[in-house]
């Protein structure tokens, strides 16, 4: 509908002023109309004429367009405002999201935990936005593959193994005495032990480097046993965390150990042609040539670094999915690294590199009470969820069961992550996030449940006239924005746009509801239809964000 009108305006501009333009109709303040365009102001500069005259000429041509019940109007310096008919406003609620990615294969990689280490609050953040971005692609018809990439080889593993071997006195059987609940804590503390020793103790440092070599070549039987047992613990623990956080399942878990060798070979085979160079015993990519940094791809011990492994990972993903687009979501500390890696990839696999997008997000900063992050203190995702749950219990009804508490807690946490634009750091304040008022996940859940309960009071009814009163029209106008918002959010990969919209929508509804009776009013049938549209949009919106939207709370 909007595109038709934009096209019509473009045609008019071509006819009247011989100017090829791309007019954009944007939502405007309700006092001015439904949509507006600044095309006349733009043209005024181009053809040196008065913008109001231009606007008037365009409007004269546009006036009889079949979609408009009211006259388009010229306002201010030459804005053209369009007022739609009630029918057009109703029609807008039936629009569907552009499925312009129909059947396209899109691979989304996020969360990327490291076996032998904990899943901390930053992983929960990455997981939440990754899951939402994947859902946005799905809504547009894409064939989405959610994957995660796990660092099961490398120095951090060696550090953890050093700690484990020390804690168990090199006795594998001692591992079997550790209870299920203690496993992740045990691994976490072993890693801290190894990591500290690596930095402060030269003997330990040498030993860890040796362990790392054996992680790759698997030449040590005892070490292999410990590795397999503890890696399996880690993977079980990860699955448990994903489930508790309500994430969609990963279709595939890529392992660094599976791609390390291929990555290394890719680098080695591209030395002769000059893409990679040997330098000080290592193999590097000279990013300086492209305004980036030099980075080591194979270290002087002959082991592939994260860089080389990621090249192998890219190759494997390409083979597995022949993706149309590959999206990788990580913290922004890897932004520069990613540019170098992609530039290197572009030298020998330009198609892969060009269809890969890196999204960099900020860090999570906890800012209240006991959970505030201290230096070197890893804040575990499940611990945060637990605190949120305790807090949610306090503000819930006495009869609220665990399922409801869980739904509310997940909504609180995920919404707090999603409502900000991706990129800068996120201040996560537990008290604020679990607050039942204001711009929060629970507020939206409540708004949804409340609307459903209104609808449940009476049966279905036929609506005789769709003519709208002003307050009804305002509400329906807002409901009709949904599709547009989702299109924008998915094109720009910005889930926060949906959060902002849903919150505004709920506010508009609450204002309407405060002064307009639904049940028992003479316009009950029509108003119930409005409530129904509203509740459906809230539900769809929350679903895209992977936030539960229960019928009752």
Footprint of RNA on 201-220 (CB under 7 A): none
Q: Which of residues 180 and 377 has its CB atom nearest to RNA in the complex?
A: 377
CB of 290 to RNA, least distance (A): 11
Among the listed residues 22, 236, 425, 467, the single contact to RNA using CB under 7 A: 425
Q: Which of residues 76 and 350 has its CB atom nearest to RNA in the complex?
A: 76
Q: Which of residues 41 and 275 has its CB atom nearest to RNA in the complex?
A: 41
Q: Does the protein bind RNA through residue 243 (CB under 7 A)?
A: no
Q: Does the protein bind RNA through residue 426 (CB under 7 A)?
A: yes
Q: Does the protein bind RNA through residue 295 (CB under 7 A)?
A: yes
- Are 264 and 271 within 8 A, CB to CB? no
Q: Does the protein bind RNA through residue 294 (CB under 7 A)?
A: yes
Scan residues 362-381 and list those touching RNA (CB under 7 A). Answer: 363, 367
Task: Supply angle C-alpha 160, 162, 164, rounded to 5.
Answer: 70
Q: Does the protein bind RNA through residue 408 (CB under 7 A)?
A: yes
Q: Which of residues 140 and 358 has its CB atom nearest to RNA in the complex?
A: 358
- Are 358 and 117 within 8 A, CB to CB? no
Helix, strand, coil share of the chain (percent; to 5): 55, 10, 30
**Two structure tokens written together for 128:** 């939440």
Q: Which of residues 129 and 144 has its CB atom nearest to RNA in the complex?
A: 129
Among the listed residues 1, 53, 281, 369, the single contact to RNA using CB under 7 A: 281
Site track for RNA across 36-75, x = CB under 7 A: x-x--xx-xx-----------------------------x
Q: Output the CA–CA distances (angstroms, integers) from residue 208 to 199, 204, 475, in the order listed.
A: 11, 6, 63
CB of 102 to RNA, least distance (A): 27
CB of 407 to RNA, least distance (A): 10
Q: Which of residues 206 and 511 has its CB atom nearest to RNA in the complex?
A: 511
Return the sign of the alpha-carbon dihedral for residues 536, 540, 542, 547: positive
How far is residue 486's CA from residue 495's CA, in Å, rounded to a whole number? Answer: 8
Task: Supply angle C-alpha 156, 246, 149, rounded to 5.
Answer: 30
Q: Does the protein bind RNA through residue 300 (CB under 7 A)?
A: yes
CB of 416 to RNA, least distance (A): 8
Three-state SS at 153: coil
Q: Which of residues 142 and 478 has its CB atom nearest to RNA in the complex?
A: 478
Among the listed residues 100, 170, 180, 453, the single contact to RNA using CB under 7 A: 453
Scan residues 6-35 and list those touching RNA (CB under 7 A). Answer: 28-29, 32
Which residues lie closer than 8 Å to 183 by C-beta, 6 or more apart?
233, 237
CA atoms within 13 A on the CB side of 58: 38
How far is residue 4's CA from residue 516's CA, in Å, rounded to a whole number? Answer: 35
Q: Does the protein bind RNA through residue 245 (CB under 7 A)?
A: no
Three-state helix/strand/coil letters over 422-469: ECECEEECHHHHCCCCCCCHHHHHHHHHHHHHHHCCCCCCCCCCCCCC
Q: Does the protein bind RNA through residue 518 (CB under 7 A)?
A: yes
Among the listed residues 261, 346, 432, 484, the single contact to RNA using CB under 7 A: 432
How far is residue 209's CA from residue 199's CA, in Å, rounded to a whole number? Answer: 12
Among the listed residues 170, 224, 377, 424, the single contact to RNA using CB under 7 A: 424
CB of 65 to RNA, least distance (A): 18
Among the listed residues 98, 240, 429, 536, the single contact to RNA using CB under 7 A: 429
Q: Which residues pair with 295 in a beta bridge?
A: 285
How far is residue 77's CA from residue 516's CA, in Å, rounded to a whole number? Answer: 37
CB of 221 to RNA, least distance (A): 23
Q: Does the protein bind RNA through residue 194 (CB under 7 A)?
A: no
Scan residues 302-341 and list those touching RNA (CB under 7 A). Answer: 303, 305-306, 332-337
The number of residues that bind RNA (CB under 7 A) is 94
Question: Judged by CB under 7 A, which stretch of 8-16, 131-139, 290-298, 539-547 contacts RNA?
Answer: 290-298
Q: Does the protein bind RNA through residue 439 (CB under 7 A)?
A: yes
Q: What letter does residue 551 receive in the DSSP assignment? A: S
Q: Which of residues 92 and 434 has its CB atom nearest to RNA in the complex?
A: 434
Which residues lie closer than 8 Å to 31 by C-beta, 6 or more apart?
none
- Are 1 and 91 within 8 A, CB to CB? yes
- Are 527 and 471 within 8 A, CB to CB? no
How far is residue 153's CA from residue 174's CA, in Å, rounded to a whole number? Answer: 23
How far is residue 151's CA from residue 257's CA, in Å, rounded to a whole number? Answer: 8
Among the listed residues 143, 265, 357, 500, the single contact to RNA using CB under 7 A: 500
Q: Which of residues 144 and 341 has its CB atom nearest to RNA in the complex?
A: 341
Q: Does the protein bind RNA through residue 449 (CB under 7 A)?
A: yes
Among the listed residues 397, 401, 402, 464, the single contact to RNA using CB under 7 A: 397
Q: Which of residues 382 and 530 has its CB atom nearest to RNA in the complex?
A: 530
At 177, give phi and psi (nearest 5°): -85, -5
Q: Which of residues 431 and 543 has its CB atom nearest to RNA in the complex?
A: 431
R_g of the chain computed on alpha carbons? 28
How far is residue 274's CA from residue 296's CA, in Å, rounded to a whole number? Answer: 15
How far is residue 184's CA from residue 234's CA, in Å, rounded to a whole number? Answer: 7
Q: Does the protein bind RNA through residue 516 (CB under 7 A)?
A: yes
Q: Which of residues 144 and 534 has its CB atom nearest to RNA in the complex?
A: 534
Cα-Cα-Cα-Cα torsion 42, 44, 48, 54, nearest 10 degrees, comes to 140
Among the listed residues 139, 155, 241, 382, the single contact to RNA using CB under 7 A: 155
Q: Which residues pair with 524 in a beta bridge?
A: none
Which residues lie closer than 8 Å to 7 by C-beta, 6 or more apart?
none
Among the listed residues 457, 467, 469, 543, the single contact to RNA using CB under 7 A: 457
Among the listed residues 25, 55, 81, 356, the single contact to RNA using CB under 7 A: 81
Q: Does the protein bind RNA through residue 552 (CB under 7 A)?
A: yes
């Amino acid at each position: 509908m909007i595109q038709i009108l934009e096209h019509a305006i473009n045609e008019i501009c071509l006819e009247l002023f011989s100017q090829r333009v791309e007019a954009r109709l944007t939502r405007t303040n309700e006092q001015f109309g439904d949509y507006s365009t600044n095309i006349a102001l733009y043209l005024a500069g181009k053809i040196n004429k008065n913008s109001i005259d231009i606007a008037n000429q365009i409007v004269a041509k546009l006036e009889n367009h079949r979609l408009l019940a009211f006259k388009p109007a010229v306002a201010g310096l030459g804005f053209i405002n369009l007022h739609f008919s009630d029918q057009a406003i109703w029609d807008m609620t039936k629009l569907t999201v552009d499925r312009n990615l129909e059947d396209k294969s899109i691979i989304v990689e996020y969360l990327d935990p490291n076996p032998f280490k904990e899943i901390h609050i930053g992983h929960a953040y990455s997981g939440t936005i990754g899951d939402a971005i994947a859902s946005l692609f799905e809504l547009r018809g894409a064939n989405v593959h959610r994957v995660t990439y796990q660092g099961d080889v490398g120095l951090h593993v060696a550090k953890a193994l050093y700690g484990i071997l020390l804690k168990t006195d090199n006795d594998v059987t001692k591992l079997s005495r550790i209870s299920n609940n203690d496993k992740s804590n045990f691994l976490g503390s072993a890693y801290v032990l190894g990591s500290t020793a690596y930095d402060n103790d030269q003997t330990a440092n040498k030993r860890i480097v040796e362990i790392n070599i054996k992680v790759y070549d698997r030449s040590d039987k005892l070490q292999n046993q410990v590795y397999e047992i503890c890696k399996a613990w880690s993977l079980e623990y990860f699955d448990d965390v994903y489930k508790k956080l309500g994430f969609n399942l990963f279709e595939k878990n890529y392992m660094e150990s599976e791609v390390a060798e291929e990555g290394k070979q890719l680098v080695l085979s591209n030395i002769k042609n000059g893409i990679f160079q040997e330098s000080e015993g290592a193999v590097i990519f000279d990013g300086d040539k492209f305004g980036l940094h030099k980075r080591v791809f194979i270290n002087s011990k002959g082991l592939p670094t994260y860089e080389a492994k990621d090249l192998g990972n890219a190759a494997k993903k390409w083979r597995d999915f022949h993706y149309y687009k590959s999206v990788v979501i990580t913290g922004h500390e890897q932004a520069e690294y990613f540019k170098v890696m992609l530039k290197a990839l572009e030298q020998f696999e330009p198609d892969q590199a060009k269809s890969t997008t890196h999204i960099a997000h900020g860090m999570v900063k906890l800012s209240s009470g006991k959970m505030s992050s201290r230096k070197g203190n890893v804040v575990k995702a499940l611990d945060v969820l637990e605190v949120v749950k305790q807090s949610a219990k306090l503000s819930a009804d006495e009869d609220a069961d665990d399922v409801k508490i869980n739904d509310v807690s997940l909504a609180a946490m995920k919404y707090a992550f999603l409502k900000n634009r991706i990129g800068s750091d996120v201040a996560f304040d537990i008290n604020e996030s679990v607050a039942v008022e204001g711009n929060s996940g629970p507020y939206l859940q409540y708004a949804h449940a409340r609307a459903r309960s209104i609808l449940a009071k009476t049966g279905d009814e036929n609506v005789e006239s769709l003519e709208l009163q002003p307050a009804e029209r305002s509400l329906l106008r807002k409901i009709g924005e949904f599709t547009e918002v989702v299109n924008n959010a998915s094109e720009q990969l910005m889930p926060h746009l949906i959060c902002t919209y849903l919150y505004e929508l709920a506010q508009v509804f609450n204002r309407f509801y405060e002064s307009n009776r639904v049940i028992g009013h003479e316009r009950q049938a029509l108003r119930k239809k409005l409530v129904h549209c509203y509740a459906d949009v809230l539900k769809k919106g929350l679903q895209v964000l992977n936030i539960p939207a229960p019928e009752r709370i």
